[in-house]
Amino acid sequence: MHDKTLTELSASLAAGEFTSRELTEHQLGRIERLDGALNSFITVTPDAAREAADHADATRARGDAGPLTGLPVAIKDLFCTDGVLTTAGSRMLANFVAPYDAGVVERLKAAGTVSLGKANLDEFAMGSSNENSAFGAVKNPWDSTAVPGGSSGGSAAAVAAGLAPAALGTDTGGSIRQPAAFCGITGLKPTYGRVSRWGIIAYASSLDQAGPMARTAEDCALLMNTIAGHDARDSTCVARGVPDYTAELTAPLAGLKIGLPKEYFGDGLDPAVEAAVREAVTVYESLGATVREVSLPHTHYAVPAYYVIAPAEASSNLSRYDGVRFGHRCENPSDLVDLYKRSRAEGFGDEVQRRILIGTHTLSEGFFDAYYKKAQQVRRLIRQDFLDAFQDVDVLMGPTSPTPAFDLGAQKDPVSMYLQDIYTIAVNLAGIPGISVPAGFVGKRPVGLQILGTHFAEQRLLNVAHRFQQATDWHLRRPELAEENA
């Protein structure tokens, strides 16, 4: 069963080939046997999953089943889930049981999905390798010596290894797309405001966006039909109609205009990654697309602008974790100040503390105008670069990451780690959608092709990605771990 895509599983359930309970037991068994080598889950919820599967089977028996009814999913442990441990990958929230569901979790439950558990992540979504989790690093299913990417590395690894057919992730600077690329799956970062952020533990509020991670663009479209849409509880969520994201998947690509940003093919790009991406572009040309070089002139400012804005917002968002209201509390504090200091020092990991300090500094008197205000001005320029480019082309294409997955422990310098997101960060600053699809390998490590569109162009991106997957088989490749039939 685990070799099927989400769409194929939906069809199999509808045809009565197996029940949701049987499918759920199969996935839970694989998690129990295989996840010890991956560490992709922080919390597995077998009892709740079986109950949800039985409810889905009863719903199907009544004739009320929808496309997602009875399908198992993994939820990144950044989404509040009622009655389930919700840690954000941090010791600070190691004992926090959420009292409500995040907006997208509500939607998935209402659609009849079965949550298998909460996937591992970089602490508070801060990282590009999933090595920053307080619950241990996640390993890449293709190569256990490599990282799976981050921060949604647990979600990506679970899907790639066949532990779950799909997962929810969040993307603040590439945290869906980069792990999707590293693990050889498909990951969509929607337009900012397209999917509710209500109930997602915040990292950087103007950048965070939830999205689907699955094997194929078709699967991501199926999930988007459920999770996209307005949520009045999220003031940043756009009140805009939701199209059927599966309706235009097979539309022809004749006449599609593709732009290749010259800034995405310069120094620092692994030649083997570039070769795979350019080969993918030739596939699009064979499907009737035309290709031209474009420029995004402010691209080289994206990383410094992001690492001013995101830490500043993190500094504000994480100030609530003080050892008083909820979360980790130090033992035997001598006074209130000691309580604050030791609770935060013990609860937060090194990378989170580093970003809090950076953010607090940039927001402080005397530095706000020089750093934060200037970064926001650069952000507007980056957004305008994309808008200008989309006047001439329909989509942009390039590598998702400058390298394939790197070795666990290889990136010792925080700045080197930050540069792993060089092709993804600008997308969040501009608020546009992006998708990463499998496009080849360097050795046995996958390569991702990133496809970008203008605001609310998810339907077009899914169409462009799906047609590529109809013409290639990279998304059908499975790591050895996923080939185990038991």
**Contact between 298 and 261 (Cβ < 8 Å):** no
Calculate the dihedral angle through the C-alpha atoms of 333, 338, 339, 345, rounding to the nearest 10 degrees. -120
Q: Which of 65, 69, 90 is nearest to 317 (CA)?
A: 90
CB 294 within 8 A of CB 388: no
Structure-block tokens of residue 351: 């990378």
Q: Position 4: which residue type?
A: K
Q: Output the DSSP codes for 48-90.
A: HHHHHHHHHHHHHHTT---TTTT-EEEEETTB--TTSB--TTS
Known active-site residue 151: yes
CA distance 131 to 78: 16
Q: Which of these is catalytic: 175, 196, 343, 401?
A: 175
What DSSP string runs through 212-224?
EEESSHHHHHHHH
Taking a C-beta distance cutoff of 8 angstroms, is the pair 150, 179 a contact?
Answer: yes
Secondary-structure breakdown of the chain: helix, strand, coil percentages, each rounded to the nearest 5: 45, 15, 40
Q: Are 10 and 77 in contact (CB under 8 A)?
A: no
**Beta pairing partners, 291:** 258
Strand partners, 79: 200
- C-alpha distances (whole Å) from 2 to each of 8, 220, 263, 423 are 10, 17, 39, 32
Mark whether 76 is an active-site residue: yes
Rounded distance, CA 103 to CA 105, Å?
5
DSSP reduced 3-state for 73: strand
Report the distance separating Cα 115 and Cα 108, nearest Å.
9
Q: Find the catalytic residue in 151, 152, 196, 343.
A: 151
Given 10, 20, 40, 76, the catalytic residue: 76
> Among 178, 250, 171, which residue's Cα sits nearest to residue 218?
250
Q: How many CB atoms lie within 10 A of CB 336?
A: 11
Which residues are known to be catalytic?
A: 76, 151, 175
